[in-house]
Every structure is written in C-alpha cells, then in structure tokens.
Amino acid sequence: MTASDLDTSLRVSALVKRIVRDDVRAMSAYHVPVSSGMVKLDAMENPYRLPDALRTELGALAADAEINRYPDPEARVLKAVLRDALEVPEGMEMLLGNGSDEIIQLLAMACARPGACMLGMEPSFVMFSMVARFCGLRFFGVRLTRDFALDTDAVIAAMNRYSPPLTFIACPNNPTGNLFDARAVETIIRNAIGLVVIDEAYHPFARTSFMPRLGEFPNLLVMRTLSKLGLAGLRLGVLAGSPEWIFEFNKMRLPYNVNVLTQLVTARVLKNPQVLSAQAARIRDERGRMINALGRIEGVKPYPSDANFIMFSVPGAEAVFQKLLNQHVLIKKLTGSHPALLDCLRVTVGTAEENDKFLVALAAALD
C-alpha cells in the first residue's frame, strides 16, 4: 500500500464513521458459511431436484421470458396460482416478497413508529430481531418454556408492557422445530395488542395452519414461504390477510420485488403442487427415521420436530460440530447463540443418502 492509498483509506474510514448509523456500524452481517463440497444440511433446503421433464419445460419458459421488460408489479398470474396452492381464503389478499425475510422487513418499516417495539419469542428465528434493529424498532423476545412451548402469560404480560404493533410467532418454530399448541396461539391472538404474524415457513412439514382461520381474527396475518418447500433459490414469500392490512403494507414494497423468472417458474411449478408435496412427504418420512436414529445414539437427545430439521443436544456440541465439518458435513451450530440452546445443534433433513452420511459422521465424531 502506498502512502497515498493509505491516506485515501483513512479518509474513507472517517467518512464511513461520520455517515453510517452508529448502530449499523456496530452490527455484524448475517453469516453464511462456505458450503461447496459439503454434505449441506444447514439451511433447511429441500434436497431433491425437480423431475427432468419439468426442468426441461422450465428451461423453455426461461428462454421465452421477456427479461428485457420489468415484471408484472402485481404478479397477477402467480397470485392466482398461489391462492389455490396455499388455500388463501376468499376475501383475503396477498402480499408477495423477495422471500419472507423481505416481508418481515416491509411490516417492520410500516409499523416503526418512534419508540415502537417488535415482540418475538426466544429462542426463535433471528431475522425478526435483526430486521427490528434495521428499522429502528426495539425488540423484546419472550422466553419459551423449558420444553420450548409458548408461555402465554409471559407473552400477554409483555404485550401489556410494550404495546408491540407487531408480534411474530414462527410455527413450527425455528430453530427448535416444534409446533406450538394452537390454543395457546389463539389465546395470544385474542389478547394481543397489535398484529400477530404467524410465520408458517415449515407448513409443508407440519400441515396445520391458521390460514383457514384468517377471517376469525382482525389482527392476524399468516406468512408462508416457498423456500423450505423446494424453491429457496427463487426467493418468494407470501403474506396473507385482510385487504385493509395488505393495502397499507403494499405501499412499502418496491414495485418490482418479485422478478420475471421467479414469477414464471413458481407459477408453473405450483400448477402441479403434488411434485413438491411428494418431496415434502419423503422428507417427513426421513425425519422420522432420523429422529429414531439420533435417539439411539448414547448422549444424543433429539427434540420433537414438525419441520424439515431436527434440533438435538449432545455433550460438547461445539467440538462435535467441528468434527462433522472436518468430515465435510455442514449442519448448524446453535450452542452459544442463546442460553436455552446450550449444547444444541440443528440438522436439516436431507436425502436418505445425505442423512446416512451425517449419521455415520456423527457416530465417528462421538467415538
């Protein structure tokens, strides 16, 4: 580096410090580990590819797509397909996002009155608290009970204390994998101050939903994503709820947030929803096999799962995670991220072959 390079670099640093928000400079970016060459069981992706004939058809669709034009900002064709595939009730509207992560952000931006607080559960999906911070909302996480159930009294007490305009409940929950009791969720919705968003990212693996009940509660929204079902690379999230809500949140959305290829390909794939639902069924079968296999390993305790991943505890989880990595098996390390997750790891359910590789590597790591 020359003296003048150094001078420029110092001037840039000084400018960054003056211009970028202090809280933003203090944040660390969401970390995605390198996964090439790994048995990749860290991110709840569907491990199966689409059938060859369908892939050929999607190739032709992409070839003919008018990528020189902006996408339909309202994604009308796709929304019609989604309404059927997701069984969005009549009279309810949809908002589409570039993944459901973007929808969380749109909701937060629209509700970020000065001093307002977002409520979430703990431990749960980290994006809720991250987005709250981006948007200048305070965040309060209500601890789940020891077996990771909803503590309805604590949630309602927190609502009375912080008056959150937004409360997010991931159901099934990530990273714990369990489905919350529907009556507990209902109690929270009925007593809520503000909106309750049920994040049903893992719906294909739980197959129970608040979607058909949207009309019962004026303060309920249901969020879905196609990521865990098998289209993670396309980035499409869906928020369903009363038109009055969707009308307001839609103003926060950048007009072309769902691109041409995502609209075309998703609409085509969901026209035959049984392709992806059959893959989800295989994943559910494998999940049962994995939970059994994990439970038979000395010292390993798998938690119940209604999702496409399994959280388990194992003594020395940090070292076990590293030994798996050394064997080119990438899962998710939870221990250290929250006190309730001490010695916990999370593995995504992959193909039978991938799962076997993971189980063999885990046995070797514990040897």
Ligand X SMILES: *Cc1c(COP(=O)(O)O)cnc(C)c1O
Interface contacts to ligand X, rule CB under 6 A: 44, 99-101, 125, 170, 174, 199, 201, 225, 227, 232, 237
Strand 39-40 relative to strand 329-330: parallel, antiparallel, unpaired?
A: parallel
Residue 148 or 359 having the CB closest to ligand X: 148
Q: Which is nearer to ligand X, 81 or 236 (CB)?
A: 236
User: Least distance to ligand X from the beta carbon of 54, Å?
Assistant: 21
Nearer to ligand X, 71 or 237 (CB): 237
Q: Which of 262, 118, 291 is nearest to 197 (CA)?
A: 118
Measured from the CB atom, the residue of 46 and 225 that comes closer to ligand X is 225
In the complex, minimum distance from the CB of residue 261 to ligand X, in angstroms, rounded to a whole number: 16
Q: How far is the CB of 219 from ligand X (least distance, A)?
A: 20
CB of 358 to ligand X, least distance (A): 20
Nearest distance from C-beta of residue 124 to ligand X, angstroms:
7
Closest CA to 92 of 268, 8, 216, 200: 216
Q: 199 or 286: whose CB is closer to ligand X?
A: 199
Supply the minimum distance, in Å, between the C-beta of residue 100 and ligand X: 4
**Nearest to ligand X of 170, 283 (CB atom):** 170
Nearer to ligand X by Cβ, of 258 and 293: the residue is: 258
Distances in Å between the Cα of 307 and the Cα atoms of 31, 185, 190 are: 22, 18, 26
**Closer of 167 and 225 to ligand X (Cβ):** 225
Residue 212 Cβ vs ligand X, minimum distance, rounded to whole Å: 20
Q: What's the min distance (Å) between Cβ of 6 and ligand X? A: 40
Residue with tokens 């937060």: 108
Report the residue number whose CB is nearest to ligand X. 99
